[in-house]
Structure formats: C-alpha cells, structure tokens
Structure 1
C-alpha cells in the first residue's frame, strides 16, 4: 500500500470518527450503546465461560525479551508451618505492550504526527486531555457482543503464515461461512492462528514477521461501526504493508478511529466451542485494570456462550 493511499484512508477514517456526537473523544465506544449491551446478554445460550487470554509468561523468548516478573514475597521464612495467621504474597511487573502477553491498547497509546486520538496534543502525558484517553476511559469495563471470525478455518489452513494479510474479502468470507454478520458496537475478534502456530512450532521473533490485518480491512470496521478489535496476534502484519508506517492498523484503529485494540489473545478454545455450538457470536466481557493515565492494561476477556 503506498504512503499516499494510506494517508487518504487515514484521513477518511479519522473524519468519520470525529463526526460522532461526542466529538470523538470516546472513539468507537460511542457505538456500544446501553441498548446494545443489553441485547448482547441474549447471546448467552449455554452458560459456558471461556477465557480469551493466554497465560502471562515469565520466561524470556524470541518474541518476549522482557517477560513479566512475578515472584512470591511471602510467607516469610518460618511462617509457613507456624501457628496463627500468615499470608502468601506476590509482586508482579510487566511490559504491557509486548509481543507475547494478552493486553488492551488505550487511546493514548498511539502517537502519530505529534497527536493522539481526536487531535489531542501528545506532549504532556499528565495533561488532563491525554489522561482522558487512558485506560481509565474503560474503567467500567467493555461489555458487548463478541464476534469471532476464524480466517484460517475459512481458508482451510491451521494458521496464516507470518507476513500474510487478512483482507476485507477474508472477513466477509468468514461471515458467510459462519452465518454471522458484524454490526454496530460489536467486539470483533479476528483469528489468524498465531497462538496455534506458536504452540506447535515454537516462538519466533514476531516483531519481524507475523500475520495480521491489511490496513484496507479497517474500512470494514468503520463501515460496520465496530467498537473493539481483538486478535490472537498483534493485529498488524509484519513486515508492514506501508513502507514508512510500521503499525498501520494501530494508527488507523486507535489513532484515527478510536477503536480499542486487544493484542495477543488466545482463541483456540473459544474457536472450538463456537464450531461445536454452530454459533460464532457471544457475550464478551473485558475488564482492564484501573490504571489512570496508563496506555494499556493486561487483560483477560471472557466469552460467555
């Protein structure tokens, strides 16, 4: 995709997002109305819950050079077998925006041309306007209809190879095969098979090579008024389809459209459950940590089938 074509697409999607009734500050969450949240509850048929997150990893690997750090800080020596009350304790730290752990990107995560989403200047991270776009924007959680589009299943392969792109045609073909249609306010989940490939072949340097969405596929999300995009990879393909923009899907989704992204989720279990049930939509509950000012959060989305 040429730089000129990317810029044209960026400006078109940005204008559409800023034409919302709230000026665009809540981004695509404006499509997730209380009525749509209530309607999503009707998606529950089996009463089964499925995690969409991968276990947090604490060992370094090719795609995780800065793994999360978790250590037990209690009980103190001698307390484990002692009489009376004592506590087991933990300490945890992580690089939220890595290439292995499941996480949510807030609207203050992507800087482009000196701005954040909705034209907010990116200079001062503590400024009220910047903090208004942080993960605290979704402190009440994100609850709505989740729709899983399993692209490898439709193509008849276990996964997409690194560097491959999900196109608009892939998304519409998955809709047709699954008998579902993505609509306003939906949490769109696109499986590329990243987690399955990693599990079967081992980790690789995903920063250099991974499957993801083609930038033009973001027009599909804008047309359908999707509120959230989640993937089992980074959502962006590597190498990038745009020579001078390393993460074009992040720029278009987060920066231009105000779509919260969830990266490196785990779809293998829910894909199997959906295939067995013959239904590819469900209630989806996302509860990020309350971290005012933060650019993202580790996340464990739950599908309720």
Structure 2
C-alpha cells in the first residue's frame, strides 16, 4: 500500500519533532528509539509537556457538570490480550462468611464468626487489561527503549529500573475525544478498519475542535459497545494507522494518545518488518504513552468533545503498564 511504500523510502521516521535529524535524501534509514529533549535521565517522555500552569489552566475551565467515568469494569471473562499467552483476569474469594464459620482462620470461634461477617478476595491479571496506560518500556527497538535505555542494562528479574509504571505522574490535562465512528455516521467502525489522518481531520472539523499541544487525545472507534462480549470485542478490532499517529503527535502536539479498543492499532501490520509499528513509534520513538480500553460511550452520547482529563495509574514498580481510572470533567 502507499503508506508502506512511503516508509520504505523515507530518510528517517521523525522522533520528537524538535530533534529532526535527517539522513541523506532517499537513503534507507532504520527506525531508532527517540532520545529525549528533556535530558538523559528523562523517563516520562511527552508527559513533560504537562506543567503546573497547564494543569491550572484546564482545571479553571471545569464547569461543575457531572464527571464521566472513562474506565471499564474488571470481571472474569472480560476482554484481554491472550494471543501471546498472557493470563486472563481471575478473581476468587479468599474468605466468605460461611467459610469462616467452618474454617475459623482467625481463631475467634464460631459465635464470633456467626456474628461478624468477613469477605475477602484476590485478583490475578496481566498488566495490560481493562483501562490502562502503557509505560514507555512496553515496546522498544533493537534492545533499547525510549531515551536509549538498554534492556541489558536496565531490565532485571523484578522489572525495569527505568521508565516503570511507578514513574508516570498523575495526568491533568486538556482532553479531546475524536469520535471517528460518529463522524462517519456509524455506531462503530468496521473490523480491521485503519483510521487515517484524514479520518481524524474530518471528525475534528465536524466537532469544531482543534487540537493543542499537550492534549490527551482519545479516539472513539465504537468498539466499546462490544465490551461485555469478549469474543466480539477482541476479534479484528479497528485501530489507528501510523500516519494518523504521526498527525496526532508530530503535527498536533498530543502528549498522550488513547482509544476505546485493544490494542490501539489494528492488524495486520502496515509496515514490513515491524508487527506493531504504531506502538513502537509512539512509545519508543516519540515517548508518548498510550491509554487503551477507554470507555468513551458517555462522552459520545452527550457529544462532549473537550474536557479536563484527570487520571492516575497504579504505581507498579518496574512494570510496563498499569490500570488507571481516568475521569473527564466537562469544561466551559
């Protein structure tokens, strides 16, 4: 296809726009990880675009309308990525009121267990399940991740000692939803549909919204309508094209990108020699975190396209992703 041909002939896939190193015209260059303009110790990439001033500016616009919960529920049988052998979500009871009467694990006696009911539970899950954010160590190129950190120097048995999910700060920023499905007059995009730069531009024009540097940009494909049916949700999902990702980050200045699908891009890959080109481009080359499985149905129903995005992820030390529960606060 045209995009594949373009990639084969481009001199270099741009990293952070301000870096802009160019090779000789027409030369074939291998994509490389981005080196941070925020310094050799930078571990959060484009999240550096967030400042106290930018946070205060968007929070000053909050209009007091009810918040939108952008997170999904976790449940046994929920959609999850298992193609590579990762475990599904599991939840089990470790204590039940009736079981405590019989087992008496606290050694308090039957009368006490009959009187004081005790329930306890445990969960087991892959880090990339439910509404979650990908840390910058999730994907790399040639043994290196964002900012040139090397796996052979920074990855141990207990996770990465750089760019782990615990390094991701709470995110308070202007949020923009781009409802691509609605802009096309659809409830949801077709299986395997690859969202283009033009799709995003046309949807933004219909919504009368312009992107700004430092935005959290969330793409609605409509796939969330199938969330309660894991097979339907996970089968051939639509996703973002590489050119569309470049439009969001390089041309529009997005800080974080996300969508209502899993796993953000679609398959098969549009780039020869890279089975997840959008992930490697965003995370490894641009330092842009990705949020997946974002529930945008409420925003779409009410046609809320701009909002204050507020979200924080679990501080899982050394992890490549973490669950989060973001909110959208409508603004003036």
Q: Normalising to structure 2: TM-score of the pair?
A: 0.80
Distance of 1:80 and 1:191 partners within structure 2: 54
Structure 1 segment 132-171 matched on structure 2, within 5 A: 132-138=162-168, 140-171=169-200
Distance of 1:266 and 1:92 partners within structure 2: 22
Distance of 2:111 and 2:71 partners within structure 1: 32
Q: Is the 8 A contact 2:140 2:283 kept in 1?
A: no
State which structure, 1 or 2, has the greater radius of gyration over its C-alpha atoms.
2
Deviation, 1:25, is: 3.8
What is residue 213 of structure 2 aligned with on the other side?
Answer: 184
CA RMSD after TM alignment: 2.9
2:113 is aligned with 1:82: yes
2:241 is aligned with 1:214: yes
Q: Normalising to structure 1: TM-score of the pair?
A: 0.86
Q: Is the 8 A contact 2:224 2:233 kept in 1?
A: no
SS of 1:252 mapped into structure 2: helix
What is residue 5 of structure 1 aligned with on the other side?
Answer: 7
Distance of 1:80 and 1:36 partners within structure 2: 58
Q: Is the 8 A contact 2:80 2:88 kept in 1?
A: no
What is residue 51 of structure 1 aligned with on the other side?
Answer: 69
Moved more, 1-10 or 105-114: 1-10
Deviation, 1:169, is: 1.2
SS of 2:314 mapped into structure 1: coil
SS of 1:71 mapped into structure 2: strand
Higher RCO by CA contacts (8 Å cutoff, separation 6 or greater): 1
What is residue 238 of structure 1 aligned with on the other side?
Answer: 267
Residues 193 and 6 of structure 1: CA distance in aligned 2, closer, same or farther (over 3 Å):
farther
Gaps of 5+ in 2: 21-33, 102-109
Q: Is the 8 A contact 1:50 1:303 kept in 2?
A: yes
Residues 94 and 6 of structure 1: CA distance in aligned 2, closer, same or farther (over 3 Å):
farther
For 1:121, which of 150, 154, 157 is the aligned residue?
150
